[in-house]
Every structure is written in structure tokens, then in C-alpha cells.
Amino acid sequence: MFATRGRPIIGSGALLLSLVLCMSACSGDKAHEQAQVRAAPTAAEADAFVAGVNDDYREQLPYYSAAQWAQATYITEDTQLLASRANEAWLEYLSRKVQESKRFNDVDASDDTERAILLLKLSTANPAPSDPDKRAELARILSKMEANYGAGKWCRSEGDCLSLPAIEKIVNDPTATPEARAKAWLGWHETAKPIREDYVRFTELVNQGARELGFADLGEMWRAGYDMSPAAFEAEVERLWQQVSPLYEALHCHVRAKLNARHGDAVVPKDGLIPAHLLGNMWAQQWSNIYPLVEPYPGVGSLDVTAALKKQRDAEYKRLLAAFDGRPTPLDLAELEHAADAAMAVRMTRIAEDFYTSLGFPKLPESFWERSLLVKPRDREVVCHASAWDMNMQGDVRIKQCIEPDEEQLTTIHHELGHIYYYLMYNGLPPIFQAAAHDGFHEAIGDVITLSLTPEHLAKIGLVPPQKADDKALINAQMKWALDKITFLPWGKLVDQWRWKVFAGEIKPADYNAGWWDLRARYQGVSPPVPRSEADFDPGAKYHIPGNTPYTRYFLSFILQFQMHKALCAAAGHVGPLHTCNIYGNEEAGKRFMDMLAQGASRPWQETLEKLTGTRQMDGSALIEYFEPLLGYLKEQNDGLSCGWDGAKR
């Protein structure tokens, strides 16, 4: 989802070379630095140090972002080289500034300065070793792993190769045979094999970088970024999981029974793990694509948003074709298809923008529309994984997403614009504070908006027929939403559970894949569709592993979004069940929302959360409240079934 700090296109190597030269020149005279170390630092010097870092961010990050954007939107060996060199230079800069910041560890500085220095130390997910050769090696590995993911293809035969979006269409299709979906699943997971050894070396390098900063390993460093001790944070994540896990277990039990009835005991056991490829998602992280198979009351309350979007897209294509002057060639037809896709991508993004502006948020800047990548280009490879980018910390914001006309993509656009508006709201802060209260906040913002995409709202904007108040329609709507929101919870937790264990040495390289599937069985209750071995590297088939984006943020966001939604509904004066609330058009809720976002990372997240919700603790009770109607239905449906699975955490 969001690319940590934006990663901006670079026209030539000159910009990047200037960055590298600047990084070198900025190191200063070593003798002068040694003299500074000998002198007792003062609070004023600490303030000046932070001010200098903020100035550096404003000056240098646009170049780094440009190199990363180029690689993500135009995958070649050249852009990989440019991105690698930019990454190396940025890692060197951060490492050097973190080392310099240690001078002020015992200085009685202002709260803002102390917080800025702490955030500086935690500002990268990829702490680099101080050794320049190892730092360069880390940068090369990071670029290689991300490029491998972006260029990955499954070749069914010579000349018949599919990239991820096309492969996902097969896995996501509940009408495809289990065998066809298993082949597509395997085809994509095979693409991760080449980076298995790279990941081993990557782990060694980032762990060394984390140890140089005083942490036991990279996992402990990541867990230190939440205004509490790493141990306390780990316990907090487990507490939240225990709070909401009964919802997942009830849904898992019901879905397994439905799949068993369709496919039989030989494919889906009545009381065991669900084969991951049958859940309508490459990673079985969200199951909304199998809604037609588990719809509680077939045909009650039409919620087929995808069909409406595809109809609009086809109408756009017919309009373009009718306006074409002359008899189109096959190449012309392909261009018209692409133009229709692009027009539909803009239309869907405008739908999402409209929701934010209805709350009082500003319109997106024109540069957003000029510079974003909204549809997969026909002429080159790109990383299609959706992400939001803040290119210069001053309003150059973009998203990168290969948008297709379906409901999942529309929801994702709302999510990505949440990042974009968070950037815009805190762009007035000093650069070090231009971040979320904690990373889970950044992931929650757009999803808070999606909770107002109620059936009534979707009908209002013409994507589903007018909805009648009906208990059966309500259960259908809740089931569809639960297949997105509840099913994600264990996945959101386990991805970093695996990495924390890898970084800590609890899962050795010889057990990478076994450790991955052990956790997936324990938390998700799923199994691989085909036998796996340590020749495979299935974690690497998920972008956030080669991209090294921390993942617990997403788990937290799925807790926070319901908690924030409840607070915004209260601000909007909503009366009635939480699941019926729609804040569209309510400027009071929008003002409360924007006020919270504008704080960025300037204060501990507990204060920021309290500003909106009145409480300083994350809490899953709003999520449980939201799905109360569905939970009652599931309890009835699961009566007499054997729920749970071997290895499930109780």
C-alpha cells in the first residue's frame, strides 16, 4: 500500500550524481567533527542539528524520491542502478546523521528536539551498516529484490507470460477450477525463488545496521517506533489480536463449511486448514472475491459494484470507438482499449476525491493528475503494487496503481488517497515530523473513509441499485465487508511475526518456508495448494517482503479504522447502529479528522489518538460492535460444526 515516504521521474543521471556528490561533500572536515565531539554539546547545538537535518530533508529527498519513482514506474537495469545509488547515498546520510545525533543523548533539549532525534534514529526500515561496502551491498540487494517482484512473470508456455495482475485474475475467480487456480498461484510464487539467498544476506546486513544503533536486531528496532518499549508493543499487538480473533474464527468456520460443500472433503476438509488458493486472493489475505459462494441470502440487495464499474468502462470504450475517424487497425483498437482503461481510472479516482472534498478536504493538486500513474502502461514494466508518494514534502503527491474497473480497486483508491491527504495535512510541519502518529495511523486513514461506503452511499453514486431496509440485505452487506475486514486480521499480524522471528534468528534460513507456513496455519488456518519445500521462498511473493515495508501497521490500521470511524460518527451526530453511519458531506467530522492528521508525528500517538477519540489506547471493541449483526448470524450457522483447526492459537 503506501511507499514509506514518497519515492519519486528522473530524466538523467545528473540529478542523482549531484545527490551523491552532495552526500560526500556534506560530511565536512573530520578534524572539525572530532573537535565538536570533545566539546560538551548544548541544547542550542541540538536545536541547530535538528534544523540542519530538516533542511537536508527538504533539499535531498526529492532527488532520492525521483530515483525510486523512476525504478517503480520504468523497470530497467539503468533505473535499478540509479535507484540503488540514490538509496546507498540516502542510507549513508541517515547513518551519518544518526551517529552524529548520539552527541546529544545526554543534553537537556526541548521536547520537540528530543522527539525529532528519536524519530531520526527510527526513520528507516533499512538501517545500513557503517561500512561503506556493506551499505552499497544493501542498496543493491534492495533494488534487486524490488525489481524482481515488479518484473515477475508466470510463463505458461513460450510466448504466453502473465504478470501479477493477470495471474491474480485467475486466482481471484471463484468460478475457475481449483486446479487452474492452484497453477496460477504456483506460477506467481515461483517468481520469488531467485531472491531467497538475497534475503538471507539482506537480513544479515540490516541486523548489523540495527545493532550499530543499539538494537538487538531489526525487528526490535521496528517495534521501538511506537512510543513504548519494544516488549510492551509486542504485548499490545497480541492483546489486540486476542480481542478480535473470535470474529475471525467464526468466519473461518463458516467459509470452510461453504467451500467444503462446494468442493468436497478431498479438496477442503471439514475440520482442517483451508487451501489458500480457494479464498479468492493470491495471499488469502482478503476473501471478498468469493462472496458469491458464501452470500447468505442470494440475490437480496444487489452489491455488485464491479459489474457497474465494468459497464461504465465498456461504455467509455464504445464512445471512443464511435468517435474514431476511419477504420481502426488492431493497434488502434489496443490504443482505444488502453484509453478507455485510463479514462475509467481517472473517473474512479475522482469518485474517491469527491468523498474527501465533501468533508472539507482540499481538491487534489493538478500535479497529482499530471504525474500519477493510474493505469499500467502498454510499453514497459512497472511495479503495479498500489502506493502513495510524497515526492518533495511540499505538495508534489502522487499515487502509483494499475487501476482496473472493480470494487477492490475502487476501495484501494480510497485507501491510497488517505495517505495522500495525510501528506497534504502535515506538509506544514518540519520534515522530521512529516509522518504518521504511528505507521498504523497512515494505513487507517483511507480505510476510515471506506467504512462509509455503505450500500446506501453506493446507491447514491450510482454503483448499485437503490437499497431497501432489509435484515437479509444487511447480513449480505456485512458478510461482504467481513470478507475484507475480518479476514485480514491474522494476515496483518503474521507477516511481521515471521520477519521478527527471522531477524531474531528464531527462524533460520534453512527453515524460512516452513516457518512461514507454520505461522499461516496457526493464525490464518490455511495451507498451501501444493507441497512446498525450502527450495521455495513463498514470503517473497508478497511485495512487502522484498520491498521491506513493515506490516504490523496494517493490522493496527484495521483496529484503528473502526475506532476512528466511531469517533467521527459521533462528531457527525450519527444516531443508530455503527454499521449504518456514513460521514459523507459532514464538515464537522472532516474538521476533526483534518485536525488530527495535521499533527503528523509531532506528538506521541497516544495524544493524537486522544485528540480524535477521547482515549489513549487502541481498542478493537468498535470493530466488534460494527459486525454485531453478522456475528449473530455466524453463531447460528456454525451451530453443530467443528470450528477451529489444529495449531490454532487459543
Catalytic residue among 137, 234, 404, 443: 443
Catalytic residue among 252, 385, 438, 565: 385
CA distance 273 to 296: 22
Sign of the CA dihedral with 97 first, then 102, 107, and 108 last: positive
Catalytic residue among 248, 426, 554, 633: 554
Is 554 annotated as catalytic? yes
Catalytic residue among 254, 415, 442, 579: 415
| 412-428 b/e (C-beta count within 10 Å ≥ 16 → b) | bbbbbbbbbbbbbbbbe
SS (H, E, C) 288-305: HHHHHHHCCCCCCCCCCH
* Of 278, 250, 172, 199, residue with least CA distance to 516: 199
Is 419 annotated as catalytic? yes
Is 190 annotated as catalytic? no
Structure-block grid coordinates of residue 344: 475509467
- 160-163/153-157 β-pairing: antiparallel
Beta bridge partners of 275: 527
CA distance 250 to 539: 26
Asked if 244 contacts 559 with a C-beta cutoff of 8 angstroms, the reply is yes
Asked if 114 contacts 508 with a C-beta cutoff of 8 angstroms, the reply is no
CA distance 66 to 51: 24
CA distance 595 to 47: 26
Distance set, CA 23 to CA 6, 15, 31, 86, 582 (Å): 19, 12, 18, 10, 49
Strand spans (E) along 133-234: 153-157, 160-163
Catalytic residue among 83, 257, 386, 567: 386
Is 415 annotated as catalytic? yes
What's at 479, amino acid-wise? M
CA distance 90 to 614: 39
3-state secondary structure of 155: strand
Is 385 annotated as catalytic? yes
Catalytic residue among 254, 419, 574, 579: 419
Structure-block grid coordinates of residue 137: 551491498
Is 443 annotated as catalytic? yes
Q: List residues with catalytic annotation.
A: 385-386, 415-416, 419, 443, 544, 554
